[in-house]
Amino acid sequence: VYAAELSFKQSLDALQANNGTQTYNLQVQAIRQNPYFARYHRAYATTNLALANALAQSKPELSASDRQNVTQLIQQAIREAKIAAQTNPKDPVNWETLANVYRNLINVAQGADNWAIAAYAQAAQADPLSPRLRLDLGGVYYAIGRYDEAIRAFQQATELKPDWANAYYNLAAAYKQKGELRSALNNLTTAIKLVDPAAADYQK
Tell me the residue type at 128.
Answer: P
E strand or H helix that includes residue 114: helix 112-126
pLDDT at 59 over 90: no
Q: What is the pLDDT of residue 46?
A: 96
Average per-residue pLDDT for the chain: 95
3-state secondary structure of 86: helix
Q: How high is the pLDDT of residue 109?
A: 86
pLDDT tier at 10 (50, 70, 90 boundaries)? very high
| 57 SS3 class | coil
